[in-house]
Chains A and B, each alone.
Chain A
Amino acid sequence: MIVEGQQFPFVILVLFWGLVVYVGWTASKGKPLQLRRLVQIDAIDEAVGRCAEMGRPCVHFPGSYSTAQKAWLTVALAGINCLRHVSYQCATAGVPFYVGSITLDLIPLMDDVVRSSYLEAGHIDDYDSAEQIRYIGSSGQTSQAPMVLRLKPAYVSMIGSYSSDFIFGAEPAKRVGAVVISGDARMSQQATMAVTSDYFLCGEEVYAASAYITKDPLLLGQVVGQDFCEFIFILMLIVGFILSGIGFENVINTLLSI
């Protein structure tokens, strides 16, 4: 019934989904949670406050990949969840907020998300879609830096799915003295983010961030469920390490081939 070679991944997927939903459900019923603190998300509020104090704007870049690159769509969507929080904080504090997008297909989505934030903050009259949500060309290497240098923001948010163009937004941000909070679940830019950002969401923290922002017990519970899944993975790695060490590699290979 299940396609050959996909039985094991299917079992893992169902197991993880079940675990995530179950822990989320128990949390929503009032079970106390022990959740790790994401200081990067707490820092967003401080960075927006810094913009308000300095009278300078906030700029958000959603990254280089979008719906056209299906594999990284989840990261782009997780980044948009963070965009919602950043734009809401800016709208509430009266901080000018701009998005510089090099991905065309995300523009309508981001426009709606930012509009919603201004609406919820009660400042919809301050929102100017064409001016605030900007398409800055298809190359982040040439278009992010001018935007940062011209607007001189006090906070640059770079949470999304990035390629090598990340540095072309982060470095000008440091040059104008902006706080940089970045995040990506992909491998390629992790090191650059670590050295150039004041705070960065590493790997799966990007996905956990949206749940952390909402403070919804159900979603927070699902983040705890996600941590349980990672724990299971670590156990599987240890078991695999021991099995291959004592000469039972064929057990692992059989498991992976079903």
Chain B
Amino acid sequence: MSIYRRSLPITITAILATLLIVQYFFGFGNAGKSLVTVFSNWNVILYTMATALGLINLSVIHSRRIINKSSGQWPYSLLLLITMISFIFIGLVYRPESETYEWLYMTTLGSITTAVYATAVLLMASATYRAFRVRTWRSWVLLIGFLIVTLGNSSMIEAIFPPLTDLQRWYVATPNMAGQRAILIGGAVGAISLGIRTIIGKERGVIGAD
């Protein structure tokens, strides 16, 4: 069991990761490019297979809720399953690129998604305001930075008080950029360290139990 659940995944990960790193630095011409294409295709295939798993997961959860008549939830679960099955059926019969499928998609999911995203902008601003707790001097620094950038981007402030716009540009281009690069470099070094831990099989958090 241990071979299939630990040694084999670790070995496959190590071999593939090493191959791709070596190809990145040494090229190996068309053979190397073909290798990358093969692995990219495998990535797409695995991702598509995971979609089926998501479908099964959704079906199991919501079927169970309908069967148990979960209070306040089962009508929504029923609606979800009906919608899901309808889309799959129509997609298989008419093909996803057909006008019928496109009309159905645009008039239901398309409209809902557009409406949600439109409200999400306002919700994001108000949610950040509600969740922001100014408790320390560091929070004050962040709040002041936020005010400089937000007000400096406003055309009204630019007309009334132009120096704030200059301050905003300097703030974004200098202290903000320095901080961003520090985090990026730190993140890159962390990723390198995680990479070697994974390749040598020491990072086993993502591998299941024996």
Contacts and interface: CB of A to CB of B under 8 A. Distances in A.
B142 A68 contact: no
Contacts of B200: 21
Interface in B31-60: 43, 46-47, 50-51, 53-54, 57-58, 60
Contacts of B103: none
B189 interface: yes
A105 B47 contact: yes
A135 B57 contact: yes
Interface in B96-153: 113, 116-117, 120, 123-124, 127-128, 130-133, 138-139, 142, 146
Interface string A80-111: 11101100000000000000000011111100
Majority SS at the chain A contact face: helix
Contacts of B47: 67-68, 104-105
B193 interface: yes
A233 B185 CA distance: 8
Interface residues of B, number: 57
A23 B117 CA distance: 48
Interface of A: 1-3, 6, 9-10, 13, 16-17, 20-21, 24, 67-68, 70, 74-75, 77-78, 80-82, 84-85, 104-109, 112-113, 115-116, 119-120, 130-131, 133-135, 139, 141-142, 164, 167-168, 170-171, 174-175, 185-187, 190-192, 194-196, 202-208, 210-211, 213-214, 216, 218-219, 222-223, 225-226, 229-230, 233
Interface of B: 21, 24-27, 43, 46-47, 50-51, 53-54, 57-58, 60-61, 64, 113, 116-117, 120, 123-124, 127-128, 130-133, 138-139, 142, 146, 180, 182-187, 189-198, 200, 202-203, 205-206, 208-209
